[in-house]
Structures are given as structure tokens and as C-alpha cells.
Structure 1
Amino acid sequence: MSEQAADTHFDLARFVLGYLAQTGGIVAPAAYGVYETLLPDDLAARLGTDAYLNLRFDAEDSAPGDDSLRLSVNHPLVDRIAAQLLRPEANSQVFINHLRLDKKGLLEQAEKSIGIANARITQKKGALEEQALHHYLRFNFKVTFVSDEKQESLSAVVMDAQNGYAITDPQHLQRLYSTETTAGYPYMSVAPSRWLGADAIDAPTTYQALLARAQSALEAQLAPRTTAMQSRIQRFLELDQARIQEYYDALESDLRRRLERAEESESGRGKGAQEKLVALQAERAAKLIDVRVRYQLRLEVELVNVQRIVQPKVILPVEIGDRRLTVTRTVVWDPLMHRLEALVCAVCGQPGDQLHLCTGGHLAHETCLSPQCIDCKREYCQLCA
């Protein structure tokens, strides 16, 4: 056998036995060419086979009394193993542990670093710093750009489940990577969602709403790439349209010359040339439509899986108010990033500095406010208007 053929040879025994061993099975050679395997019950159930198997991979027929199972490439068990490997990765959960949570003085730090343009942050009576678990959801998407060619890639969007917005800070995203699957704070309670319209933190409706926001964030994330691809596609479309026009212009010019000669000679061929000219114009229009359809850019997004990231933080309820109104909000210390989290605008759902307290009790960016009332000078956000 040549060296190239040896490199490309598919080793079925290595494929099957390697999979069984890596998924918790015990594999041992029982005799020459025969392997004894003991599978976990759940793995045997997924593969639809017995937990105890004797496997052979040679091409010879079994000897009398040999109860071993001979596998080939097209055997149903091999097909089920391949299907397991091709199955999308399951959802997962990881934990961020070993953080310092003994943070004090959140109120003083909030008064210094969080600015409310028209209100003050004050202490809520009886409120103390507490430790609570917070969740991030990493939505992994398969993104496909379809036009004259097909491009596929994987993109991820990390959503803050308590605050309802996408994390875009590269340093923050980097620190959220974790491989720890054991909870470091198993008895700590989970903080509730703080964004407008959210249900319980683990409710399906909350996850669906976060998925919709993640898809919107993904569109914004892909916008530069989409714009660049549209520019490239437009350039190639114009080149193809010019090529088609040039080709059919030449054919039409030739047919018109024939039509003129036929009319001058009165040979009776003018009718045929005229029909060909009409057909040529219809063919040109069809080709131009086809090339426009082929160069249309279409974006397809498919959710692959979700990873939940669990991290403890320190929270403190505070009051934000002016002479007319006081609302309660939560100040959050992130020990992973060593900073206070910004408060969130109720209108656009994004964090920000120098938010305004509207008369309806919402915090909003200046750009998310409605025009101020001329008579009473009160500020209303776009949710209240």
C-alpha cells in the first residue's frame, strides 16, 4: 500500500473503540481481533445496544459459536455513533469561582461614580450589602451569508441575564471564559432580573426575550461585515450587469443591421429578424433579473447552543429621588471586573452614565427622553410619553 493510501485509510476499529472509551466505556482486547466492551447504561441506551459487547472489525465470517458482533462502515451501530458525534453540542453551565466578595462602602462609591443628572442617590433604610449569584447567557450562533457564494461562521453574543443587555467590552468577555463546572457558592441565592418586562430569572419567557435581544445584538455585531459584503456584491453585480449589457448590445446591433438590410432589399426576411430582436430583448431582461437575484445577500442565523455562566456579585438596594419622586434601584459591585456596574436605561435597555429620573419613575438617557413640558418643566421618558 502506498504511503498516501495509508494516510487516508479509515481505521474503523480506532474510530468505534476510541468513541466508546472516551464516552465512559471500558474496552479491552479479549482475543486476536476481538474487543470486549462494557458501556454505561445511558450510553448503551443512546446507541440502542446492549451494555456488554464483543466487537470484531475483520472481514472474515464468524466462526461457529462466536457471538461477537462484526462491525463494518455501514453497520447501524456505526451510523448511530456517527450521528452522536454530528449532533449539536448540548447546552452547558460553568461557574466563576474564587472571587473576593468582602466589598463594603458601596453607597459611598455609588454616590461618587454613578451620576444621575436630576436626582440623588441615598441610602435605603435597613439595606445592607448582600452577595448574590448573577447569570450570563452565551448564545452561540451559526451565521450563514448567502449570495453568489456561501460563507459560514460561528458568532457568540453574551447577555447579562439580570440587566438584559449584551456585553461588548472585549476584556469583560475574555474574563467570562471559564471551564469550572462545579459551583463554588452552592448555597448563595440568585439575584432577580432587573430589566423592564423580565419574568423570573429562569423562566422560559425570560430566556426567549434574552434570545431576541441577543439576535438584535448579533445584527449590530455583524453590521460592518454585512456592509463590506454588500459593497463587494454590488461591485460584482455591476461588473456582471455591464458584461451582460455589452454582450446583448453586440447581438442587438448585429440583428438591427440585418433588419435594415432586409428592409432595404425587401427580401421578406425582416419579419424573422424582428422576432429575433424581440426574443433577444426578453432574454436580456431575464438574464438581468437572474443576476440580480443571484447577487442578493441573505443572512441566515441559527442558534447552536447556550452556555450559562454563573458568577457571584455584591448588591445594595439604594434610593434615587428628587423632591417629587423616589425609586429603588440596585447598585452592583462586579468582583470579576473590580468596578460598579452602570445603571440601565429603561427605554433602550443599555447601560449609561448621567441618566435622568423621569416623572414616571424610569431612568433614561437624555436621548431617550421626550421633549420637556414647557409649562411644568417635568421630564418624561419615551415610555411615559
Structure 2
Amino acid sequence: MHFEGTPVLERFVLDYLQRVGALTEQVSYATLEVLLPEDVNEYFGEEQLRLVFDYEVAEETEGSLFITHGSSFLDKTVESILQNYGHFTVRYWSGPIPELPRNFEQKILANLEFRRCRPPKVRMYVVEECVFYGFNFRCTFRSHEKSEELVTIVLNGSNGQVQTKFFESWQKNIPAEEREYTLPRARLLPLDRLYQIACQNAEQATQIWAEKIMTQGAWQKKKELAKIAGYYGELAAEIQKKLAGTEDLKKKARLEQQLSATLVDRERREKDAAERYGVEVDISLDHVVAYYIPCLWVKLELAHKDQVRAFTVLFNPLSNEIETPVCERCERQTFSLVPEQDGFVCPECSVGN
């Protein structure tokens, strides 16, 4: 998987096709020729496809399939991942349907700040089944040594928020293989959008791993460079000594060529050593786990001046925490919210700050 240079939707489809064993070729801008393996072409109904990810190109390309959100091919791709792909696992919440904690309003006050508002009151709440997707990426690091790590990014499928402490809470739950409850399903973001967010976070995580590997190899790199410098330094000093001790022009010219070649060889060896201790990373989606958890959408009433404003928060019974809301203007997570005309925003986005 390459994170740069390829649009997200195209990358999502290409990653899926490569994982199922399809042969793919980028024949022109936003145009992909695909030869599907036999067990997959029965599912899609064709063996050879020409997929186009640009509307204008699709209009000009006869016999092509335009791939966009809501297109038939993309829907089948997602369906194949969720139902037919062996590296997709489902886990369910076990236990009774959760209820709103009695001290919820106090919990709100302890965790969130609503500026210029009276303390919030709970107006109503609904319980819906939320899906938390665990994207597991296999990361191969190639440096002076080769290593592999499994990087897991868990997202709330309803809003795409990263769940950094998900497994601390999930370990306390004994998952069920089937639903033990009947609830409406919460809204879901498109899977390719969630995949994009997961990729971005996996890239950040692998960067941290790469920096650790470079730090661990720094002393070895320094030691090898010092060895190279010592060897070629002694060799160059010996040649320079011979140069200083001869008046023979032919011999001088030969020694000067030898000295120049030594310096070039030293530069090449140092460059090779530096590159060897750099880090190359290959990332591929290994498997996905969907965690189905009943969550509470709680609608709050907040008095601001002579108005009564509404704001909805998500309570996760697994972690027993209120999910950090986002600014309705910049979409960044924030613990402090300020009422504005276009909704509740973070202090940085607030006109009056």
C-alpha cells in the first residue's frame, strides 16, 4: 500500500483487488484495467473490467465502469469485504441493553465545558447499535534489519473518531458470537471514508515505529561510519605520504588517481551505510474486526441567554465514558464548547474566543 499519490477511493478499490488476487494495470489517468480471478469474477459477473475513477474520463471511455460513492461496483466491493472475505471478523456486545447512568448530568459537567451556558439537562436519549471497526495493518520495516509489526486503528463507524483506549475496555467484555439484543443501527460513514482515516492514522503510527528503529540503529550507523572513515583516512594518508616523497611525475599522477579513487570509494561506502540504516515501510491491510456495541445518543438542553439550545453527545457503555465531541466548524475534538449561530464550536473557532 502506498499512502501518497493515489486518491483514497481508488486506493481502497486497488487494495481490495490486489488482496483477492486480481491482475491490475494503470493504463492511463484514473483508469484501471482489471483481470479478476475465477472465484471472484462469478461474484462481479465479469472477468475483465475497465474501472474509471474520474467522471469526465468515464464519459469518454467506452465500456468503462465509473467508480464513485454509491456505485454498484463499490457497493459490491464493500459487501464482498464484509461478507465474503475471510479476513473480516465480527464481535458483539454481551449483556443487557445499557441504560443512562443516574449521575449522567454530573458526568457531563466533569468531562465537558459549555461556555456561556447554564448546566446542561438531559432531554432524551436513544440506544442504537454502533459499529467500531478495528483496521489491522501489517507493517514491514526494512532497514539494517527487517521487522514486522501489526498496527491496529479502531474507529467509531458513526463519526470516524479514533478510539485510542478501546482495548483497555474491550478486555473487560466477553464478546458474543451473535446478537443478544434487538436495536436500531446507528448511522455509518462509508467504509472507504473510514478506511481513509485508518490509513492516515496507520501512517502516523508507522512513522513513530520508523523513528524508533532509526534511533536504535543510530549507534550502529555511527560505529560503521567511523570504521569507514578510519580505514579510508589511513589509506588516504598513506597515499599522500607517498606523494610527498616522490618527484617522479608519472608516479605522482598514478598516486593522485589512486587518491581520487579512494575518496570516491569512501563517499560511496558512506552513502551505502547511511541508506542501509534508513527505513522503508510497506503497509497492507491484514484484517478487519467489527465490534457491535449498543451506545446511547443523549440529547442535551442548554440555556444560552434567552435561547434553549440542543446538543447531542455519545455515551459509550463499554468504556463508561462520554465520547469527546467535535467542533461543528473545524471538526476537531474539543472538551470545551461555545454556542455560536452555526452550532457549538471550540474556543479557537469562537468569534469572541
Which of 285, 308, 315 is the aligned partner of 1:333? 315
Which of 83, 103, 115 is the aligned partner of 1:117? 115
Query: Is it true that 1:290 corresponds to 2:285 in the alignment?
Result: no
1:230 matched residue in structure 2: 214
2:18 matched residue in structure 1: none
**TM-superposition CA deviations, 1:90-118 (whole Å, max 9, x none):** 21222112134343768744654432123
Question: SS of 2:192's equivalent?
Answer: helix
Query: Is it true that 1:251 corresponds to 2:213 in the alignment?
Result: no
- 1:260–1:167 CA distance, 2 compared to 1 (3 A): same
Preserved contact between residue 170 and residue 318 of structure 2 (Cα < 8 Å): no
2:185 matched residue in structure 1: 190
Distance in structure 1 (CA, Å) of the matches to 2:283 and 2:145: 16
2:225 matched residue in structure 1: 241
Which of 180, 185, 193 is the aligned partner of 1:209? 193
Preserved contact between residue 105 and residue 120 of structure 2 (Cα < 8 Å): no
Preserved contact between residue 110 and residue 331 of structure 1 (Cα < 8 Å): no
Distance in structure 2 (CA, Å) of the matches to 1:337 and 1:95: 15
Query: CA shift at 1:348, angstroms?
Result: 6.9
Preserved contact between residue 132 and residue 292 of structure 2 (Cα < 8 Å): yes
C-alpha root-mean-square deviation of aligned residues, in Å? 3.1
1:68 matched residue in structure 2: none
TM-score, normalised with respect to structure 1: 0.61
- 1:253–1:122 CA distance, 2 compared to 1 (3 A): closer
Query: CA shift at 1:350, angstroms?
Result: 5.7
Distance in structure 1 (CA, Å) of the matches to 2:329 and 2:342: 12
Preserved contact between residue 316 and residue 332 of structure 1 (Cα < 8 Å): yes
Question: SS of 1:292's equivalent?
Answer: helix
Query: Is it true that 1:271 corresponds to 2:256 in the alignment?
Result: no
Question: SS of 1:163's equivalent?
Answer: coil
2:281 matched residue in structure 1: 299
Within 5 Å, give how 1:62-77 maps onto structure 2.
none
Give 1:157's aligned amino acid: I
- 1:333–1:269 CA distance, 2 compared to 1 (3 A): closer
Which of 283, 299, 314 is the aligned partner of 2:296? 314
- Residues paired across the two proteins, number: 269
Which of 141, 145, 151 is the aligned partner of 2:141? 145
Distance in structure 1 (CA, Å) of the matches to 2:282 and 2:117: 45
Preserved contact between residue 94 and residue 180 of structure 2 (Cα < 8 Å): yes
Query: Is it true that 1:99 corresponds to 2:81 in the alignment?
Result: no
Query: CA shift at 1:140, angstroms?
Result: 0.8
- 1:298–1:121 CA distance, 2 compared to 1 (3 A): farther
2:162 matched residue in structure 1: 166
Preserved contact between residue 94 and residue 173 of structure 2 (Cα < 8 Å): no
Identity of aligned residues (%): 19
Where in structure 1 are there 5+ consecutive unaligned residues?
A: 1-44, 47-87, 193-200, 380-385
Distance in structure 2 (CA, Å) of the matches to 1:271 and 1:247: 23
Query: CA shift at 1:268, angstroms?
Result: 3.1
Distance in structure 1 (CA, Å) of the matches to 2:172 and 2:332: 21
**TM-superposition CA deviations, 1:55-76 (whole Å, max 9, x none):** xxxxxxxxxxxxxxxxxxxxxx
2:151 matched residue in structure 1: 155
Preserved contact between residue 317 and residue 329 of structure 1 (Cα < 8 Å): yes
Where in structure 2 are there 5+ consecutive unaligned residues?
A: 1-37, 40-84
Distance in structure 2 (CA, Å) of the matches to 1:146 and 1:348: 37
Distance in structure 2 (CA, Å) of the matches to 1:191 and 1:320: 24
1:281 matched residue in structure 2: 263
Query: CA shift at 1:208, angstroms?
Result: 2.4
TM-score, normalised with respect to structure 2: 0.65
1:21 matched residue in structure 2: none
Distance in structure 2 (CA, Å) of the matches to 1:357 and 1:349: 15
Distance in structure 2 (CA, Å) of the matches to 1:275 and 1:281: 10
Give 1:272's aligned amino acid: R
Please identify the structure whose Cα radius of gyration is greater: 1
Question: SS of 1:337's equivalent?
Answer: coil
**Hey, which of these two has a bigger chunk of strand by percent?**
2
Query: CA shift at 1:136, angstroms?
Result: 0.3
Give 1:315's aligned amino acid: W
Give 2:193's aligned amino acid: A
